[in-house]
Amino acid sequence: MRHDHATLPTPESSGSFWHSEPNQFLLGHRTTKDLPVEADIVIIGTGITGSAVARFFSEDERAKGKTIVLLDAREACWCATGRNGGHCQPLLFDRSAEVAAFELKNVHAVKSYIEEHSVPCEWRSVSGCRTFWTEDVMQEAEKEIAYLTKVAPDIAERITVIKDKEALKEHCVSTNCVGVALTRGAGSLWPYKLVTSILEKLVKDGKLNLQTTTPVTQITSSDSGHVIHTARGEISSRTVILATNGYTSALLPEFADLIVPVRGEMSALFPPKNSTILPDSYGMVGALGQPANNDDYLIQRPYEGVPNPGGHLMFGGGRGSSNLPTIGVSDDSVIDEGAAAYLRGALLKVLRLGGDIEGLKELKAAAQWTGIMGYSRDNHPWVGKVPDKEGLWLCGGYTGHGMPNGTLCGKAIVDMVLGEEAGDNVLALQDKMVKEGNIPKSYLISKERIANARLQPTVRVQEQEGIRLKGIV
């Protein structure tokens, strides 16, 4: 059977707009000149998850005095989180009510941290406007919303279905759209600025040893712990946490069929002259002939009140128009001109952008780039201990939906690691966390879940056949 093994992040990558204002303190940063030979905790990956894991360890009294080393193959936040769509939007009816509640909690946690620490990352509270472009996908959404209304009316009341053509115009959606689901409780942001703000604070507070441009090539495990191999030397630790998302199987080959790298296309587009800011963030399902299992997604940067404003339309997706393979691809140095061209032209057809659009065939791009997502075979993230590898933990596989998950998934890992160290039974602890809403049961790693996931079609087959897995545990 073919497995789509990830490779390590490529040394060069396409130029993400989010990196156009790099954090100067963190560029090339290595807290210590040499790699430590050992640490109590080693985290691999500096995106939304890795930074959350480091932060929650630093905030927990049980971890006081522990040495924490954070490694990345590239600069800080230079992989998926530094290349994504800037969405922090909970999807309330796509999986289960338990997942919806967790995502809402996660978005609140992200917003609260930004407000508490005054992080200048362009956070904007918006409604998520999910647009449906065929009768089939609209009916499917309405069916799922009706089910959510039965099982979790408190969550369902956040959703408003709009089909009236005049009401669509109020949300700047083309009247060719079948209908939309408007969700209260979403946000948009400059994700790189949030993550690098967290990391800079941890390093300056002396709570983290950050080692960038230090690719991990292999992890070898024994009864005494783990050895993390890099070109700069080896580091030993009893506790290793993989926050590597789409790149996971490069270091954990047994997960190659469970978390698959998938390349996605992103763009920062100049808005039409004299247009005003859009009211919502957006998702497009089945638009312009795109497959219904691949959403397009859009947020807009502010026009004012931030450094270098411009109202850029941060638009991603278009995988159905790709010229190049996307499934099983770990190389984000390449721009796919088919998907890029789709992104430059699509918004003029699906939204009412306003401004000077007469005769305009496509929007001009300020930047076009790609990023590597981690698609989960059963459509849920993988959070917990890697079976049969004591002290090795994993948190990833977000299927393009990491921003409303990664922060509290990272916290869940910290609570499991420290709970186990304190003598708690991990299974009992996980049950308690599930009951308290601190992690969905469907996210937890177990041998049973792995076996069940392997009964599902592979990620590649799901993509080819347009399968959308719903709520599979």
pLDDT single digits (tens) 348-404 = 999 999 999 999 999 999 999 999 999 999 999 999 999 999 999 999 999 999 999
Nearest-angstrom CA–CA distance, 301 and 306: 9
- Are 151 and 101 in contact by the 8 Å Cβ rule? The answer is no
Domain 126-188+264-375 has CATH 3.20.20.190: no
**Maximum separation of any 2 CA atoms in the chain, in Å:** 68
Domain map (residue ranges) of the chain: 17-81+192-259+378-465, 126-188+264-375
pTM: 0.97
What's the CA gap between 345 and 436, in Å, rounded? Answer: 45
Q: Token pair of 260, please?
A: 């698959």
Task: Measure the CA–CA gap between 81 and 402, rounded to whole angstroms.
Answer: 8
Residue position matching structure tokens 């789409």: 246
Which residue has tokens 């949300």? 171
Q: Kindly report the CA angle at 402 between 396 and 406, in degrees rounded to 5? A: 65
Instruction: Tell me the C-alpha distance between 179 and 217, whole Å.
Output: 48
Give tens-digit pLDDT for 114-130: 999 999 999 999 999 99
Where does the pLDDT of residue 471 fall: very low under 50, low under 70, confident under 90, or very high at 90 and above?
very low
pLDDT band for 472, please (50, 70, 90 cuts): very low
Closest CA to 294 of 351, 339, 350: 339
Residue 321 structure tokens: 């128009």
149-169 burial, b for 16+ CB within 10 Å, e for fewer?
Answer: eeebeebbebbeebeeeeebe
Amino acid (one-letter) located at 330? S
Instruction: Give the neighbor-by-neighbor strand order of the sheet with 68-71.
Output: 209-211, 68-71, 41-44, 239-242, 392-396, 382-385
Give the Å distances, CA to CA, from 64 to 57, 206, 272. 8, 12, 52
Give the mean pLDDT of 220-237: 95
Judge whether 142 and 160 are in contact, CB under 8 Å: no
Position 436 scores a pLDDT of: 98
CATH 3.50.50.60 fits 17-81+192-259+378-465, yes or no: yes
Distance of CA 177 to the CA centre of its chain: 27
CA quadruple 403, 405, 409, 411: dihedral sign: positive
Q: Is pLDDT at 188 greater than 80 in this prediction?
A: yes
- pLDDT tens-digit series, residues 127-160: 999 999 999 999 999 999 999 999 999 999 999 9
Per-residue pLDDT band for 420 (boundaries 50, 70, 90) equals very high
Do residues 157 and 113 lie in contact, with contact meaning Cβ atoms separated by under 8 Å?
no
The whole-angstrom separation of Cα 343 and Cα 115 is 32
- The residues near 153 (Cβ < 8 Å, ≥ 6 apart) are none
Could you give phi then psi for residue 407, rounded to 5 degrees?
-65, -55
Say which DSSP state 260 is in: E
Provide the pLDDT for residue 277.
96
Residue with token string 């270098």: 308
Q: Backbone dihedral region of 172: left (phi > 0), alpha (psi from -120 to 50 degrees) or beta?
A: left
Cβ neighbours around 341 below 10 Å, total: 17
| Sequence-ordered strand ranges (E) for 12-151 | 41-44, 68-71, 87-88, 124-132
Closest by Cα among 300, 253, 229 to 35: 229
Residue 272 phi/psi, 5° resolution?
-60, 145
Per-residue burial over 268-307, b if 16 or more Cβ lie within 10 Å, else e, is bbebbeebeebebbbbbbbbbebebbbbbbbbbbeeeeee
pLDDT digits (tens, 9 = 90+) for 274-298: 999 999 999 999 999 999 888 999 9
Q: Could you tell me how far CA 357 lies from the centroid of its own chain?
A: 32
Evaluate if residue 468 carries a pLDDT over 90: no
Confidence grade of residue 469 (pLDDT, cut at 50, 70, 90): low
For residue 4, what pLDDT band results from cuts at 50, 70 and 90?
confident
**pLDDT score of 192:** 98
